[in-house]
Amino acid sequence: MSDNQFKNRLEEFSYSLGMTISSNLIQSGIKKIDSLNFLSGFQDTFAGNRLKIPMDIANQILQEFILAQNEEESRKNLEEGSLFLSNNMNIEGVIETRSGLQFKVLKEGYGKHPSKEDQVKCHYHGVLLDGTVFDSSIERRQAAIFPVNAVIKGWAEALLMMIEGAKWRLFIPSCLAYGEQGAGGLIGPNSTLVFDVELLEIV
């Protein structure tokens, strides 16, 4: 509950609705909006006022704008990823496989290699090239269990080379990650990803 920030439940509800809508937009990949025109369109629609843009045209504008935005972001991410991976090969200990996956061994293992049919228990920490954390079992303080053949290509390739107890840093090009589609609001199209992965055990 709020501590006297709102006068009544309607104000609380309205603010909460604004938070939820904004969060959903961010999750769907919308990076920025003109808040004044957003509120104007919201208010006109909700109040039944005459709309400045017909609804069918508005839907077309949304599709075209988001497509153009995604294409621009996709190109930018691809260029940044390519430059990063090229420079990354100059770092001592970084190895590149035939597929383009790069990795660096942080800790040697002691156990067995998993197979494609195995389930594994891992701790991991995933970031974008700018350091933004998009997923982390370490931050959740709970290791994840999943089939080797159910993860992105870069992960699967690395896991098959790792042994229990090993910890690697993975540098995964977009073609071995989520590609042109991206994944949610944080992982944009053609994003290169960096993971620290510790293979705890085959389960």
We report the CATH number of the domain holding residue 127 as 3.10.50.40
Identify the pLDDT of residue 30: 79
Say whether 15 is catalytic: no
The verdict on 102 and 195 lying in the same domain is: yes
The verdict on 153 and 98 lying in the same domain is: yes
Question: pLDDT digit string (tens) for 8-67?
Answer: 999 899 899 989 998 888 777 777 889 899 989 989 998 999 999 999 999 999 889 888
The verdict on 153 and 62 lying in the same domain is: no
| Residue 77 maps to a domain | no
Residues 6+ apart with CB under 8 A from 3: none
Choose the catalytic residue: 26, 30, 118, 134.
Answer: 134
Say whether 84 is catalytic: no
Are 192 and 81 a contacting pair, CB within 8 Å? yes
Half-sphere CA count of 111, side-chain side, radius 13 A: 19
Enclosing domain of residue 46:
9-72
Identify the pLDDT of residue 67: 83
The verdict on 141 and 115 lying in the same domain is: yes
The verdict on 22 and 65 lying in the same domain is: yes
Question: pLDDT digit string (tens) for 162-188?
Answer: 999 999 999 999 999 999 988 877 898
Say whether 110 is catalytic: no
Mean pLDDT of the chain: 92
Choose the catalytic residue: 30, 138, 152, 163.
Answer: 152
**Number of domains making up the chain:** 2
Say whether 13 is catalytic: no
Quote the Cα angle for 180-80-102, to 5°.
80
Q: Rounded to two decimals, what is the model's pTM?
A: 0.76
Say whether 178 is catalytic: yes
The verdict on 126 and 104 lying in the same domain is: yes
Identify the pLDDT of residue 105: 98
Question: pLDDT digit string (tens) for 13-23?
Answer: 989 998 999 88
The verdict on 91 and 68 lying in the same domain is: no
The verdict on 66 and 147 lying in the same domain is: no
Choose the catalytic residue: 103, 171, 172, 195.
Answer: 195
